[in-house]
Amino acid sequence: MAMLKEAYQALQSIVGPEWVSDDPAIVEADHVVTRGGAALKRPACSIQPETAEEVQGIIRICNRYMIPFTATTTNPPPGLEKEGVVFIDLKRMRKLEIDEENLYATLEPGVSFAALQGELFKRGLVTFVPMCGGNVSVLANTLNVGEGAISYRYGDRGYRRVLAEEWVTAGGDILRIGSRTMQNDFFWGEGPGPDLRGLMASANLESPITRGICTRIGVRVFPFVNEKLEPWGDAPVTTLNLPTNRFKYYNFVFPTKEAAINAIYEIGKCEIGLFVMTVPPWFFAMARARGSAEVLTGAAGFWDYWDNHEAPLIRQNPNQTSCRILLYGIGSEKRLAYEEKVLQSICDEYGATFAKASRKAQDETHFMSADAIVSNLAGGRFTSVILFESLDHAFKSADIVNANTRKHVPPVLDDYGTTNWFLPFEMCHICKLECLRFASVEDAGELALLMEDCHKDFVDVGAFPVKPEADLYGPKWENYPEKIKKFKRLLDPNNLAPQP
């Protein structure tokens, strides 16, 4: 749907004609359907601001002409179900400052996790790279979910790491939160007055874009080892060599799921490791596909390993549970030796056997890359049912997903109920459960139906999934969608931002 020429010219005056376009090919590329779901409409135009002031100018024009808008950096955004949307692409906003003394970074939406991590490593600091990959926007991901493997040691969900914020509300006002209110820094997030961070970022319930566009945030960063993590290999087969005096991987196998949970709880209590997780058997096949050796074998390697190694093992021992831990000599090499002894003692107590213990510490996915996308190799498409729960409750939720999987998608991968991944955070206070399910590209719609059925069952057991259906969960969860709508009316009086 074409927009008013006058409005279009006004947008051009904000960013310059080079950075706005209504060419059909430009807007076609902005509306991408990746996994089925509702048909999306081409935006009316695509625009690329470079500063918060430009974002504000665009939103004010949208309000003047009553044009709906949405915004994004790397992921397809919500809001494209409507006709005539202004698509605000924030990729050009790439400013980054790191205060290494005071352990925080100030950044704009276009800064990726890998770029931040690369800059932090040079300074002996670290951040969490989420499971979807170091290519995603730090700002967008951190405001929304923002977890990574090392959330186990350094804290939980991303939005809890956010300090001061700067927003352009959907009504076109600049909203500053925390120390950004008083001075030009992003050091702390509280006040003055009520802490408004929760108002803007509602964690995993829905996207914050429904109330405005965040243009800059401060995020906490963490001390790390001074030794360098050296990249190795030619893309696409690469890894990071971890300093062996500070890091050591262990894989270990428990005879039952229960033993695994109890041991992981114990590991958390003893505060050892940089991260700990269960390892679904298909991870090993994925690693084979990804080529942890020197040859990347792709889908053929995956299926060869799955059919001939993993599937027979699972059929033989369906309750066996593999785990992985990265021991971390934070502060000293002695600490690594201590952690190794503690782990050995816990594993002895719970009957674990070590599958692999190597001084060679290489990481492919937890510090920079996070290759979750490789999961598509198994069938063409996958979906993740993601929940955040206590560790013991997570196992119950996983059973729900298993039951629904059998009802639904003709499995491309017969996973025997083992493709659920448990990743504890905050020393096991909370657990991320990610249930991955695979289908062919043609069956991608079926995955959405599976997701719907799981959500219906989750309500009954009190599970806490990411992005729950508001209509389904709202009545049981204190009518939270109504509260969100009230906030939205306050900040988006013309209702132009995407709906919650």
Min dist. Cβ of residue 161 to another protein (A): 19
CA 383/CA 64 separation, integer angstroms: 40
Which residues lie across from 437 on neighbouring strands? 383
Q: Of 73-102, which residues contact another protein (CB under 8 A)?
A: 74-76, 89, 91-92, 94, 96
Which CB, 376 or 495, lies closer to another protein? 376
Residue 426's nearest CA partner among 459, 373, 390 is 390
- Min. distance of Cβ 189 from another protein in angstroms? 23
- Residue 203 contacts residue 216 (beta carbons within 8 Å): no
Sheet of strand 104-107, all strands in order from the earlier edge strand to the far edge: 96-99, 104-107, 212-220, 162-169, 174-177
| Nearest distance, CB of residue 109 and another protein, angstroms | 12
Q: What is the pairing mode between strands 162-169 and 212-220?
A: antiparallel
Q: Binding another protein by CB under 8 A: which of 7, 46, 218, 419?
A: 46
Distance between CA 457 and CA 465 in Å, rounded?
A: 11
Stretch that binds another protein, among 192-200, 227-235, 323-331, 429-437 (CB under 8 A): 227-235
- Residue closer to another protein by CB (options 53, 230) is 230
Single out the residue of 106, 112, 204, 215 in contact with another protein (rule: CB under 8 A).
Answer: 112
Take residue 156 and report the two structure tokens written for it. Answer: 């939980």
Of 326-365, binders to another protein (CB under 8 A) are 364
Q: Is 23 in the site for another protein (CB under 8 A)?
A: yes
* Residue placing its CB nearer to another protein in the complex, 48 or 321: 48
Binding residues among 134-193 for another protein as defined by CB under 8 A? 134-136
CB of 363 to another protein, least distance (A): 8
User: Using CA atoms, how far apart are residues 329 and 188, in angstroms rounded to an integer?
Assistant: 29
Give the separation between CA 343 and CA 329, rounded to whole angstroms.
13
Assess 240 for contact with another protein (CB under 8 A). Answer: yes
371 in contact with another protein (CB under 8 A)? yes
Query: What tokens were used for 62?
Result: 């949208």
Least separation, in Å, of the C-beta of 209 and another protein? 17
296 binds another protein (CB under 8 A): yes
Binding status of residue 236 toward another protein by CB under 8 A: yes
**Block residue for tokens 């050591």:** 248
Residue 181 CB coordination number (10 Å)? 15
For another protein, the closer CB: 28 or 53? 28
* Cα of 55 vs its chain's centroid, Å: 25
Which residues, 6 or more positions from 97, have their beta carbon under 8 angstroms from its beta carbon?
A: 105, 106, 107
Nearer to another protein, 70 or 321 (CB): 70
Among 368, 385, 394, 491, indicate the residue that binds another protein (CB under 8 A): 368
Q: Is 16 in the site for another protein (CB under 8 A)?
A: no
Q: Which is nearer to another protein, 82 or 381 (CB)?
A: 381
Cα angle 383, 388, 389 (rounded to 5 degrees) comes to 130
> Could you give the C-alpha distances from 339 to 97, 273, 357, in angstroms and in order?
35, 7, 14
For 482, phi and psi rounded to 5 degrees? -65, -40
| Nearest Cα to Cα of residue 434 among 132, 37, 74, 35 | 132
φ, ψ for residue 173, nearest 5 deg: -95, 150
DSSP structure string for 464-483: -BSS--HHHHGGGTTTHHHH
Q: Which is nearer to another protein, 211 or 437 (CB)?
A: 437
Of 10, 40, 103, 115, the one binding another protein by CB under 8 A: 115
Binding track over 389-428 against another protein, x by CB under 8 A: -----------------------x----------------
Give the residues lining the site for another protein (CB under 8 A): 19, 21, 23-26, 28-30, 32, 34-35, 46, 48, 74-76, 89, 91-92, 94, 96, 111-112, 114-119, 121-122, 132-136, 231-240, 290, 296, 298-300, 303, 364, 367-371, 373-374, 376-381, 412, 440-441
